[in-house]
Amino acid sequence: MSGPSEALRAMVGSTTVIPVLTIEDAGYAVDLGRALFEGGLKVLEITLRTPAGLTAIREISQALPEAIVGAGTVLHPRQAEEAAMAGAKFMVSPGATKGLIDAVNSTGVPLLPGCATGSEAMRLMDEGITFAKFFPAEPAGGVPYLKSLGEPLQDIVFCPTGGIDLARAKAYLALKNVVCVGGSWVAPKAAVQAGNWAEITRLAKEAAALRG
């Protein structure tokens, strides 16, 4: 069957890490996006936690047409429409409600909804979702927990996010129910504030090389 989850998996392809970016000032958004893209991370999540988020999605998408820029922290149905208008290619939420799933589906943009338990994953599967964000990955139980979830739940795969660093990413990527991981560690606040784009490209390269 082909639906939004399959479309999203195709978009993510062999990407190892999706940087989760909370942008305080749209003025540096393109430089940050370019630093990550040049390091080999081509799928970027810009959260809607700051007022600059939507502008950043629009500007990075225009400046780097080969990057796949999505919107994160999509909580309310109205944000789905706003993110789609800004050019988001996918949307990410920390959890999921029926209202949000329906609103995102109506934009035609695929959703990566969050879940942390077997029941939540099963409810997503009832909605036809087979690719979800495992959130918050580390506090919820980390690699052993996600591995255990995968034993009975064989028809859903995950992008773990929350508390992940390079070493943990490697361990998650070794699980058969993990497609990619999400995290902010590739764009540390200090490097962003200093405009140290070379450091961010270095971290991106390290992350991109996690799998082969």
Ligand X SMILES: O=C(O)C(=O)C[C@H](O)[C@H](O)COP(=O)(O)O
Active site residue 38: no
CB of 184 to ligand X, least distance (A): 4
Site for ligand X in 75-134 (CB under 6 A): 92, 94
Nearer to ligand X, 42 or 168 (CB): 168
Sheet strands (E) in 43-155:
43-47, 68-72, 91-93, 111-115, 131-134
Active site residue 45: yes
DSSP classification of residue 154: T
Site for ligand X in 40-79 (CB under 6 A): 47, 72-73
CB of 44 to ligand X, least distance (A): 12
Q: 43-47 and 17-21: which strand pairing?
A: parallel
Site for ligand X in 157-186 (CB under 6 A): 161-164, 182-185
Amino acid code (one letter) for 163: G
- Tell me if 135 contacts ligand X by CB under 6 A: yes
Supply the residues annotated as catalytic: 45, 133
Q: Which residues contact ligand X (rule: CB under 6 A)?
A: 20, 47, 72-73, 92, 94, 135, 161-164, 182-185
